[in-house]
Amino acid sequence: MANIPTLTLNDGITIPQLGYGVFKVPPADTERAVSEALEIGYRHIDTAAIYGNEEGVGAAIAASGIPREELFITTKLWNDRHDGDEPNAAIAESLERLGLDRVDLYLVHWPTPARDNYVHAWEKMIELRDAGLTRSIGVSNHLVPHLERIVEATGVVPSVNQIELHPAYQQRDITAWAAEHDVKIESWGPLGQGKYDLFGAEPVAAAAQAHGKTPAQAVLRWHLQKGYIVFPKSVRRERLEENLDVFDFELTDAEVAAIDAMDAGDGSGRVSAHPDEVN
């Protein structure tokens, strides 16, 4: 089994740096896919209420027989559950579907700025953590002004910010803020969701070739060496194995720098929704 490194979050909780994300894994396939991932050696699963597959994740966890403390399970609060006591109901429903007493990490999925209720959502996250329903709390898709506002309002810094991040879209303003405030970055869409020719790009192809690895492995290695947490998605066993087989080589500083240079710096590399548009 791969020896997956862990990172320590700003609240002292440790998290496996590489996991398995199940966005778009169909609910009917989820138990099988997560069971395979656990069998292969994954111990960190990233799901969300909106993915509709928490039940499959829970069924795989229950069937695995793996001690609960060896697993790291993340789920997320959906956008229409920020108000009032809705977050309390939402996490209770997620826990029920997952068959768990608590998750390891609960995230505000999007700030939904047009609704202007993300500060309240963050206050509720603090309450849910204090009630023991999640060990750690973080956010997702929060831009620097959103981060500044929730910290200013509560004094509580999220443990992670899960954002779209891959070589063509590196969100350097957010990663700089995160480094300064000891917030770990989780890269979603780490392989660019297959929406541009990431694997054919020269810096990626050259690094892969130099180490006898696949382009996907070179990109995952880049995320890991940048200090980011990743959970690439696949429903194919051979890819689940490939994506975990990234701990026996290291990119050189020059290879990392060449991949760093793939972001044009104008935001044009983004492949999915912008947080201001999701409400």
Active site residues: 51
Q: Is 247 in the site for ligand NAD (CB under 6 A)?
A: no
Tell me which residue of 67, 15, 50, 9 sits closest to 183, measured CA to CA. 9
Beta pairing class for 184-188 and 72-77: unpaired
Binding mask 172-211 for ligand NAD (x = CB under 6 A): ----------------xxxxxxx-----------------
Q: Which of residues 47-106 bind ligand NAD (CB under 6 A)?
A: none
In the set 22, 125, 137, 251, which binds ligand NAD (CB under 6 A)? 22
The minimum distance between CB 33 and ligand NAD, in angstroms, equals 11
Q: Is 141 in the site for ligand NAD (CB under 6 A)?
A: yes
Q: Is 21 in the site for ligand NAD (CB under 6 A)?
A: yes
Phi, psi at residue 243, to the nearest 5°? Answer: -70, -20
- Measured on CA atoms in the order 28, 193, 118, 19, is the torsion positive or negative? positive
Residue nearest to ligand NAD (CB): 21
Q: Is 239 in the site for ligand NAD (CB under 6 A)?
A: yes
Kindly tell me which of 26 and 84 has the beta carbon lying closer to ligand NAD.
26
Kindly tell me which of 61 and 216 has the beta carbon lying closer to ligand NAD.
216
DSSP for 27-58 reads: HHHHHHHHHHHHHHT--EEE--GGGT-HHHHH
Q: Is 170 in the site for ligand NAD (CB under 6 A)?
A: no
Task: Give the span between the Cα atoms of 15 and 110, in whole angstroms.
Answer: 21
Please give the C-alpha separations between residue 106 and each of 17, 47, 48, 159, in angstroms, as whole numbers. Answer: 16, 10, 9, 10
User: Left, alpha or beta for 6 (phi > 0: left; psi -120 to 50: alpha)?
Assistant: beta
In the set 57, 98, 183, 216, which binds ligand NAD (CB under 6 A)? 216
Interface residues toward ligand NAD, by CB under 6 A: 21-23, 46, 109, 140-141, 162, 188-194, 216, 231-234, 239, 242-243
